[in-house]
Amino acid sequence: MSRPAVSVIVPAYQTTAYIAEALDCLRAQTFRDFETIVVNDGCPDTAALEAVLRPYRDEIRYYRVDNGGPGSARNHAIRLAEAPLLATLDSDDLWTPDYLAVHTR
């Protein structure tokens, strides 16, 4: 398996209600050579978050860490990233379908 071109890093803390939309916007990307790393940053509703993430588990790499804030979660994901390029997507944000295509030209 070859390494992806982009590692998309998604820290998750108290965004259970929103993260599915963020992951759906990744599913809609026209540029497909990326991996998605979701880091649960000590989310107080981890059980609910993991239930929401269940349909995406084959498409994401998921990690749980103690709460350290979004920067700490991002740094954890950066250490695990396999791609030479990094993109950060907050779990309550959305990208247009061409976001990665435009930014990897």
Confidence of residue 97 (pLDDT cuts 50, 70, 90): very high
CA distance 43 to 48: 10
Distance between start and end Cα atoms, the chain: 23
Residue type, 11: P
Question: Can you give the pLDDT at residue 9?
Answer: 98
Question: Can you give the pLDDT at residue 22?
Answer: 98
CA distance 6 to 17: 26
pLDDT of 1 > 70? The answer is no
Convert the pLDDT of each residue in 49-87 to its tens digit: 999 999 999 999 999 999 999 999 999 999 999 999 999
Average pLDDT along the chain: 97
Convert the pLDDT of each residue in 4-48 to its tens digit: 999 999 999 999 999 999 999 999 999 999 999 999 999 999 999
For the chain, give the percent of residues with pLDDT over 70: 99
Q: How many CB atoms lie within 10 A of CB 100?
A: 23
